[in-house]
Structures are given as C-alpha cells and as structure tokens.
C-alpha cells in the first residue's frame, strides 16, 4: 500500500518535493495550495486548492483522506497554516515533517536592519522620500501605507491591491529565482535606495541580498518566525529520508 502524503505547499520547495515524490510507487502524494497565485506551476501530482477551514478542517481532511504523513513545506512567513498543521498533527496523531528554511545570516558587507515584523519594517524606513524596492509579497503591503512619501517598486507574482495611501508605486511582475546580475540591473534601472524584504531563507530568493551587498545598498529585513512545530528538517533530502523511514515503518506494521 502506498503511504498517503499531504504536502502543504505554495513554495518552490514544496514543488520540488512533490516533483521528486511523483512516480515513486511508495507514495500517493497530494499537494495543497491556498489558491493565492492565479497560475500556479502545474506539477505531476494530485493537487487540491483552497483553505481547509482551520486546524479542525485540516484534521477532518487528514482523516477523510486517510493521510499517513503531513509535510509542511509552506513559506516560513505563512504562520497560520503552519500553526494549523501543528495542531492538526497533534489532533490526529499523524507525523508532521516541517521543511524549515535556515534564515539568511549577514556577512561582511551587508548593511541590514533586522526588524520583528512588517509594521517595524515600515517604521524603519526613513522620513525623507526614498526609492524603495519592496519584495514582501502582495498580501503584506498594508503596513507601508504608514510611509506614503516613498516611491515603491513592488515585485510580486500577481498584480496586488495597492493600499490607497500609496500613490507613488511601480509594480514589477516576476517569479523567481532571479540572478544576482538581474537584481543589480533592476536596482540600477529603478535607482533604488534601499531594499525591504522578509528573511525567508533558502536559495531561490537570496540573489537580491547578494545584489544589495555588491551595491552597498541598505536592507530592512523582517526576521523569520520560529517554526510552529513538527520534525523540522532543512533539506529536501532530509525530508525524503524521514518520509522513507515512515513508509518503512508503516510497511512493516502492515505485514
Ligand atoms: P497563512 O496566513 O499562514 O494562511 C492563511 C490561510 O490560508 C490558512 O489558515 C489556510 O486556510 C490557507 N492556507 C495557507 N496555505 C495553505 C495551503 N498550502 N493549502 C491550503 N490552505 C492554505 O498563509 P499566507 O501567508 O497567506 O500564505 C498563503 C500561501 O502562500 C501559503 O501556502 C504559503 O506557502 C504561500 N506563500 C506565502 C508567502 C508569505 O510571505 N506569507 C510567501 C510565498 C508563498 P484555512 O485555515 O481555511 O485552512
């Protein structure tokens, strides 16, 4: 019997795990997306879209679909779904593997101001008008209404609703990964004074920080929240290894 795996996704990491597991006869994999991205990448695994209705809804889904293992590979800043996953795993007694990304750490040449949240990031912006490169995601723009004096270059995957207080904005639609060279070009092209981003960790989104370092550009970085729970693993290989062990245990129990 294949092990039924539910991957909570919405990230390149989740897509990578799903792609590596697809076609493996040991597993029946379902990828779950919140439905935020209009045209998500199409992957060779079963995909479901939309919220579960909180932790209890997720527990019910896990029971109804005889899921054996839950993998939380959501974005490190997607705190609600991760909290729900931790609670649902406790409620159902299912193993939870959490794909955790190591936060980026400053190295020589970085000019980072690290802050606790998006409101603090907005507060850390200067009072005089500046040209700000904002890569925090389209759901996270509201706090910047507190600083409408800036010109914001906002990079998103899908066009966002701009807070009405922000009147000087330019939307750049793009989906990473980006190269350091492309990020430098973008920073030059838009005469950016500083970058505001989330400390998401991982490689797919780190080129902008390398570009900022190369250009001695100040960065305001929102600290990554701690993982909500589960067995936290930091590489796809570690997640797949733990999954293979669960599969082996389940297979032994069923003979
Ligand atoms: P969130 O605040 O943690 O979650 C809000 C609600 O959206 C959850 O309570 C859940 O609804 C639903 N949801 C979230 N992820 C889901 C998933 N993978 N499958 C099914 N339902 C899900 O999440 P968010 O920050 O809005 O992020 C939404 C999605 O975008 C996540 O999947 C995340 O991986 C991805 N993402 C987020 C960021 C970011 O910066 N936050 C960046 C890149 C990608 P119910 O309670 O009804 O189940």
Q: Which residues of 164-193 are buried (b: 16+ CB within 10 A; e: fewer)?
A: eebeebeeeeeebebebeebbebbeeeebb
Closest ligand 1 atom to the C-alpha of 136? Answer: 40
Q: pTM (2 decimals)? A: 0.93
List pocket residues of ligand 1, CB cut-off 6 Å.
8-11, 32-34, 36, 51-54, 57-58, 74-75, 77-81, 84, 137, 139, 198
Q: How far apart are the CA of 248 and the centre of ligand 1, in A?
A: 31
pLDDT at 160: 85
Q: Which stretches within 139-254 are classed as H helix?
A: 180-189, 207-214, 236-253
- Other CB atoms within 10 A of residue 8 CB: 26
* Residue bearing tokens 């997607």: 78
Measured in Å, residue 110 CA sits from the centre of ligand 1 at 30
Inter-CA distances, 207 with 197, 214, 221, Å: 12, 10, 14
Tens of pLDDT along the chain (255 residues)?
899 999 999 999 999 999 999 999 999 999 999 998 888 888 999 999 999 999 999 999 999 999 999 999 999 999 999 999 999 999 999 999 999 999 999 999 999 999 999 999 999 999 999 999 999 999 999 999 999 999 999 999 888 889 999 999 999 999 888 999 999 999 999 999 999 999 999 888 899 999 999 999 999 999 999 999 999 999 999 999 999 999 998 888 877
Ligand 1: centre distance to CA 40 (Å): 14
Q: Which of 7, 10, 35, 99 to mutate to test the pocket of ligand 1 (most atoms within 8 A of CB)?
A: 10
Q: What is the pLDDT of residue 176?
A: 85
* Ordered strands of the 96-99 beta sheet: 46-49, 27-33, 3-8, 69-72, 96-99, 231-233
């Amino acid at each position: 019997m294949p092990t039924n795996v539910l991957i909570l996704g919405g990230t390149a990491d989740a897509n990578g795990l799903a792609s590596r597991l697809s076609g493996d006869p040991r597993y029946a994999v379902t990828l779950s997306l919140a439905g935020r991205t209009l045209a998500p990448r199409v992957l060779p695994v079963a995909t479901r879209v939309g919220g579960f209705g909180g932790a209890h809804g997720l527990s019910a889904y896990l029971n109804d679909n005889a899921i054996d293992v839950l993998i939380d590979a959501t974005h490190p800043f997607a705190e609600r779904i991760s909290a729900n996953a931790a609670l649902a795993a406790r409620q159902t007694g299912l193993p939870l593997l959490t794909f955790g990304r190591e936060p980026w750490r400053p190295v020589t040449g970085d000019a980072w101001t690290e802050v606790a949240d998006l409101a603090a990031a907005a507060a850390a912006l200067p009072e005089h008008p500046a040209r700000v490169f904002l890569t925090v995601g389209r759901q996270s723009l509201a706090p910047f209404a507190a600083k409408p004096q800036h010109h914001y270059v906002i990079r998103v995957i899908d066009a966002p609703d701009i807070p009405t207080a922000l009147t000087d904005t330019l939307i750049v639609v793009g989906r990473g990964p980006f190269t350091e060279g492309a990020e430098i070009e973008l920073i030059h092209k838009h005469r950016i004074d500083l970058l505001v981003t989330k400390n998401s960790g991982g490689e797919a989104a780190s080129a902008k920080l390398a570009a900022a370092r190369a250009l001695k550009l100040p960065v305001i970085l929102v600290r990554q929240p701690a993982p909500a729970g589960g067995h936290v693993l930091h590489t796809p290989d570690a997640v797949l290894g733990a999954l293979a062990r669960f599969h082996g245990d389940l297979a032994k129990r069923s003979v």
